[in-house]
Amino acid sequence: MKATETAPLRVIVVGGFLGAGKTTLLRQAGRRLVQQGKRVGIVTNDQAENLVDTETLRREGFGVEEVAGGCFCCRFSDLLSSSKRLMEAHKPDVLLCEPVGSCTDLAATVLRPMQTFLKGRLAVGPYSVLVDPLRLKQMLSKGTRSPFSEKVLYIYNKQLEEADVIVLNKADALPADEFEALQQKLTQVFPRAAVMGISALEERGLDLWLEQACADRPSGQRGIHVNYDIYAEGEAELGWLNAAVRLRSSEPVAWKPVALDLLKALKDAFHARNAEVAHVKLSLTAPGHALTGNLTSTGGLPFLMVQGTAEAPSTEALLLVNARVQIQPDELKAAVQATLETGLPRSLLKEIERLDCFSPSRPVPEHRLPPPEPCSVGAENPCGIIREIFKPKKKISGTQARSN
Ligand SMILES: Nc1nc2c(ncn2[C@@H]2O[C@H](COP(=O)(O)OP(=O)(O)OP(=O)(O)O)[C@@H](O)[C@H]2O)c(=O)[nH]1
Ligand SMILES: [Mg+2]
């Protein structure tokens, strides 16, 4: 551990809904920190193995550990052991952590336990929650126009409620006046958070964000009420799939168009099933190829990023698919398996090495520490501020509605 008694290890946790840009921000911020002469370690997290995020970040040369098989809150001990391994192997000055994008209540279950159990050894910066402005607009569209259920909206809202810093990302994706209006809306509705706008992709606002994220200010101290029944049911509405597929060809293949076509075919498959994509990610690794593909909504445009420069054709590749979609897991599995056949060239030999598909199970945090001061928002109402911002038509309740 770089942390000595005088210099605790700086930890930055970046939350926010699926596809908001967490990995992109950590990648760009990590690079910037390295340019400043700092060593960076990153912990990724997912409900299953074979993470696209881990691949994407390792290709940048960062030391990356992943906590797989459950979120940070349910696998808090794994988060600590992964962090320890990184500290021993890479001696980072800064540890960046990306929780699962469908998680909330992280202040109570991750940030406060970190600060309590590793007091003096870690300096946990203010908790940033990233927001995709296009998703926010979609979430704000009331009634049938919002593709996600009110229980998913509940999670989305809780993520924002507990943020120390709300980071409206993708400033490049909207006209400036629309972006500013959304930023103002967030400032009005969440007055206790610092609200800022950035473009992680275009590296706009990164220095200012890093300043906020490294500030010596309290982190995750806000009390929010989270109803775990609604939370669990909201998460369970998402189908979750992680697959690792070996691709082989008798002739050398230029993999970039293959990855892009597959992403487009997956988009069409979910569109045909009227299933909203929260995030579909691909990683394709072959000699001379390192590709990451993303689709952050069924109506959005597929995005392909090439890491490194060499693009020589080759005969073998490893494809990872991570799909989080509002659809039942069996349908998700069938859709992805069929699309692997139809969306990839017929000449390729496809060997599924591993495929996990499920709905996330109920979160059962290892620790849940109360805030130093009583809850201020949503104390009377398990839906919190959701009534103000999202105005659901009827009361949301879990099947065994109970306020925690
Ligand atoms: N236009 C634009 N796109 C961005 C920006 N930041 C991220 N993206 C894109 O948003 C998509 C999702 O980004 P990720 O960083 O993978 O999102 P994430 O929050 O880590 O997603 P999960 O790991 O699924 O929770 C990718 O296609 C990114 O290129 C941005 O500032 N502008
Ligand atoms: Mg990510």
How far is ligand 2, taken at its centre, from the CA of residue 18, in Å? 7
Is 90 exceeded by the pLDDT of residue 162?
A: yes
Residue 293, amino acid: G
Domains and CATH numbers, the chain: 9-234 (3.40.50.300), 239-358 (3.30.70)
Q: What is the pLDDT of residue 215?
A: 94
Q: How many residues does the chain have?
A: 404
Q: How confident is the model at residue 374 (pLDDT cuts 50, 70, 90)?
A: low
How far is ligand 1, taken at its centre, from the CA of residue 29, in Å? 13
Using a pLDDT cut of 70, give the percent of the chain over it.
89
95, 72 contact by CB (below 8 A): no
**Which residue shows structure tokens 């991570």?**
322
Q: For the chain, how long is the longest CA-to-CA vector?
A: 65
Is 80 exceeded by the pLDDT of residue 144?
A: no
296 lines ligand 1 (CB under 6 A): yes
Whole-angstrom Cα distance, residue 179 to residue 175? 6
Least confident of 243-252, 307-316, 343-352: 307-316
Q: How confident is the model at residue 288 (pLDDT cuts 50, 70, 90)?
A: confident
Is 50 exceeded by the pLDDT of residue 279?
A: yes
Question: How far is the CA of 268 from the CAs of 225, 262, 265, in angstroms?
Answer: 38, 10, 5
Evaluated on CA atoms 221, 106, 362, 68, the torsion sign reads: negative
Average pLDDT over residues 258-273: 98
**Which residue shows structure tokens 């059962």?**
364
How far is ligand 1, taken at its centre, from the CA of residue 113, in Å? 28
Classify strands 128-131 and 194-197 as parallel, antiparallel or unpaired: unpaired
Short-list 143, 139, 137, CA closest to 178: 137
What is the DSSP-derived secondary structure letter of residue 176? H
Which atom of ligand 1 is nearest to 294's Cα?
Answer: 27
Is 90 exceeded by the pLDDT of residue 376?
A: no
201 lines ligand 1 (CB under 6 A): yes
Q: What is the pLDDT of residue 389?
A: 45
Is 50 exceeded by the pLDDT of residue 290?
A: yes
Which atom of ligand 1 is nearest to 200's Cα?
Answer: 31
Average pLDDT over residues 61-83: 97
Average pLDDT over residues 59-82: 97
Q: How confident is the model at residue 203 (pLDDT cuts 50, 70, 90)?
A: very high
Question: How far is the CA of 223 from the CAs of 112, 369, 371, in angstroms?
Answer: 11, 10, 5
Q: What is the pLDDT of residue 393?
A: 46
Three-state SS string over 83-126 comes to: HHHHHHHHCCCEEEECCCCCCCCHHHHHHHHHHHHCECCEEECC
Whole-angstrom Cα distance, residue 309 to residue 13? 30
Least confident of 22-36, 53-67, 132-146: 132-146
Q: How confident is the model at residue 7 (pLDDT cuts 50, 70, 90)?
A: confident
Which residue among 13, 17, 18, 23 is best mutated to probe the pocket of ligand 1, counting the most ligand atoms within 8 A of its Cβ?
A: 23
3-state helix, strand, coil in the chain (%, to 5): 35, 25, 40
Question: How far is the CA of 389 from the CAs of 152, 156, 187, 403, in angstroms?
Answer: 14, 11, 12, 20
Classify strands 289-295 and 277-286 as parallel, antiparallel or unpaired: antiparallel
Q: How confident is the model at residue 5 (pLDDT cuts 50, 70, 90)?
A: low
Three-class SS of residue 69? coil
Is 50 exceeded by the pLDDT of residue 387?
A: no
53 lines ligand 1 (CB under 6 A): yes
Q: How confident is the model at residue 390 (pLDDT cuts 50, 70, 90)?
A: very low
41, 90 contact by CB (below 8 A): yes
Average pLDDT over residues 344-351: 97
Q: What is the pLDDT of residue 312?
A: 83
Whole-angstrom Cα distance, residue 30 to residue 292? 18
Q: Considering the chain, what is the average pLDDT of its residues?
A: 91
Encoded tokens for 268: 């069409």
Encoded tokens for 267: 């988009």
User: Could you tell me which residue, 92 or 388, shows the higher pLDDT?
Assistant: 92
What burial letters (b/e) apply to 338-354, b meaning 16+ CB within 10 Å?
ebbeebbeeebeeeeee
Using a pLDDT cut of 90, give the percent of the chain over it.
83
How far is ligand 2, taken at its centre, from the CA of residue 373, in Å? 31
